[in-house]
Chains A and B, each alone.
Chain A
Amino acid sequence: MAITRGFTGRRRERDERLPPGQYDAKDEWPVLHVEATPRIDTATWTFGIDGLVDTPTTWTWDELHALPSARYAGDIHCVTTWSKFDMTFDGVSLDTLLEIAGPQDDAAYAMASSSTGYTTNLPIEDITDGKAWIVWDADGEPLPEIHGGPVRMLVPHLYFWKSTKWVSGLRLMSHDEQGFWERNGYHDRGDPWLEQRYQGD
């Protein structure tokens, strides 16, 4: 381990909820997307699941809101080293949507895509069994545009670039393909507790 001369670090009291290399952003919620923030009209926005499913399905804003609602309460972690504790997000569980679409047996990976063309890849185990949501409220308020509003994906046990802002679709695949950041050197899975920031971690 290469010690940096003279460095001791300031944050000596580590909150056990912080994965390695992360810090508590407290009241800040930093914004780190690379596209222009899009303006999305909920009257025309849709979310679709296709690929290796029995019933490719597209939902409108109203149709998603008619489904059983689900909440995530907990922490989020961004690869740029901030974490936020005790957030709440409201929306619908991806399990509910996948149950309708019916993943086929050979569906092993998913590619989430955004209205901006942004993509990110996820193993199917990381978006099933209560691990992933499509959300429109954060801390009880409509999700702001800069944080992916009106609607984003939420996969909070992975680094937050996996939680696609302005999500518009999910494609199930038999093989892994890299999304936007993954092609640009970021890790394919992105588990903050294993500090999987970059390819090779």
Chain B
Amino acid sequence: MTNPWQEATVLDVRHETPNAKTFRLRLPDPRTHLAGQYYVVRLTAPDGYRAQRSYSVASMPGGGEIDLTVELFPEGEVSGFLHEVVAPGDTLEVRGPIGGFFAWAGDTPILGVAGGSGVVPLMSMLRHARAIGHPERMRLIVSARRPVDLYYADEVVGPETTVVYTRQAPPGDPRPVGRLTAEDLTPLLAGPPRTVFVCGTPGFCDTATDLLIGLGVETEKIRVERFGPT
């Protein structure tokens, strides 16, 4: 499975949160991705200096366009450039899709557990589940700091999705603010076993996997993608 570098055209740039932007790219050589996979973006300076980073696809599989959502990291060489400079009409070298483990074909029941920007690959899964007419195959829990930090706020909410807030909740939210707990996860594990996709910072992922294992989820059922400033 060799994916060559290709020059994608930036069609659209939009804010998801104050520090996350989604870049819609048109691929000259479209590749079918699985929900959960990622692309590598490579930047090249005039003197040949290069920097590359990996970004998960947020859009559902199919078509010649992909959405990559990029969190801005302090001092982030690539995320900073993408946020501050890149505009519609630019071209970006990309390569993908990559990753066959943290990926879902849409045919099995799954639970997504996302912290912050970790919702990006799980949003692709949710969009896919809805598009194929099987939203019941996916359950999703998203941890966000504040309502303004929730990615895809107008789309991620729905019967499949539970949102927990760690710092500030919207008015009327019955759940006290705070980190993800076993009580948050328990109702989502009811019924037949689901493969669990956990994505977020390394700390979030370790906390979430410990909770899941404590609730009796087999480690073989847990797939983890750790995001960080790398």
Contact = CB atoms under 8 A, between A and B. Distances in A.
B102 interface: yes
A198 B92 contact: no
A9 B209 contact: no
B100 A185 contact: yes
Nearest to A200: B2
A11 interface: yes
A103 to B, nearest CB: 30
Contacts of A183: 100
Interface residues of B, number: 47
Interface string A17-36: 00011010100001111111
B45 interface: yes
B90 A5 contact: yes
Interface in B1-60: 1-4, 7, 43-46, 48-54
A29 B43 CA distance: 24
A35 B224 contact: yes
Given A9-B77, A184-B101, A1 B48 contact: yes
B81 A6 contact: yes
- Chain A contact residues: over half helix, strand or loop, or mixed? loop
B219 interface: yes
B172 to A, nearest CB: 35
A146 B206 contact: yes
Interface string B83-99: 00110001111010011
A25 B81 contact: no
A116 interface: yes
Nearest to B48: A1
* Nearest 6 pairs of A and B residues by beta carbon: A200-B2, A184-B100, A36-B209, A36-B222, A4-B43, A6-B85
Interface of B: 1-4, 7, 43-46, 48-54, 75, 77, 80-81, 85-86, 90-93, 95, 98-102, 198, 202, 206, 209, 212-213, 219-220, 222-226, 228, 230
Given A6-B86, A32-B226, A37-B209, 19 more contacts: A1-B48, A2-B91, A3-B45, A4-B81, A7-B45, A9-B51, A21-B51, A30-B230, A31-B226, A32-B230, A34-B101, A34-B223, A36-B219, A36-B222, A78-B230, A184-B98, A184-B99, A185-B2, A185-B100
